[in-house]
Structure 1
Amino acid sequence: MFIPESIALKEWAVTTKALQEGAQIIMMRKGGIVEETRHFEVRSHTFYLYPTYEHQKKEWIKESHRLEIDETLVNWDQTGQTVTVSACAKVVESIEITDTEDLIRIADFHIGTDAFAEERLKWKRKQPLHLLVLRVYMLENPVTLPVVPEYLGCKSWVRLEQDRMEAAGPLSPVLNDTEFEKEHLRLKHALAT
């Protein structure tokens, strides 16, 4: 088992929920509006999943998962003073997507609509869309953190307080080895056709 660095990747809470439930093993990234480097980079191959709530859009989520946005809002601190981190991830593979045909091939592997995926690909058109294949682990003890100014804004990565994250305890994989490998191979096959 690994110990994640005290860095977290920000992602919509509904996508984080899908990853935590094994409904998907991928995350599509282009980078936040205020990225220091102007494009997305994998800063760490192990990281916590930091759920975000403000910009989730139901119309960009497949019909079968739209109600899950409401489910994510149940435990959201709407005052914006705290956030609860419940999972971490390890990057197994990073794939660059540059065309719509590849987006069509991976449509069954995420909860976003085709329009959402196309929008991600089109934004910053000269930059590839990063498809991160993630092995996700649940924290035995989810950690509730105060939201500090450094966590705010449209950026991908935030540095968490290491001493607070040490309370997370052991990790347990969302999918067992066989389940994960099966899904990873299915994804590879889809991209190869």
Structure 2
Amino acid sequence: MIRVLVVDDEHLVRSGLRLILEAAGDIVVVGEARDGAEAVDVVTRLGPEVVLMDVRMPGMDGLTAAARIGAVPNPPKVIMLTTFDLDEYVHQALRAGAVGFLLKDTPPTELAAAVRTVHAGHAMLAPTVTMRLLSSFVERGPAVAQRARERLALLTGRERDVIEALARGLSNAGIGAELSLTEATVKAHVSRSLAKLGLANRVQAAILVRDATG
């Protein structure tokens, strides 16, 4: 069972998310939190594997909480719940280690699938909302681009090919098909690249590639 923490300031929203997730059969909601501070406390006490967290809440917001949760030992995967009027803030959560986004009107089957995806170690790059956010709100500029290009220069040519394909939102299978590699080889390239770059996940790698474009 995948252990999930649900964080939202509205009781009805938390209850609805719990019902949807637990109906999936392989997910259990081990706790709920009303704000970011409570979420950090519950994470340290209950050790969920995935946190589904609203961006805007009274007190400590989801962005601050994501950064603090990312700093705990063996942190859970964090998915942010967002709306487009908050897009300008979301890349901060990505840089803090959040692995994806969902809109609050996400269909129940997609919600459960998203939890499974991040639990398996994959960032949520495929949904259109995530790619739009990455394209629109990643920091750009000559200095940022130069630093990003210098970091990417640490990679081999093939590792760079894989990371650039990843940044376009391709899955391991999609990258393998494009580059004529097995999924296992793609996974190995991704792991080595993340280690060389000092990055926590695929989303941060995608941001770095997009920064490098200036």
Shorter-chain TM-score tier: under 0.3
Q: TM-score, structure 2 length as denominator?
A: 0.22
Q: TM-score, structure 1 length as denominator?
A: 0.23
Q: Which has the larger share of helix?
A: 2
Q: Which has the larger share of strand?
A: 1
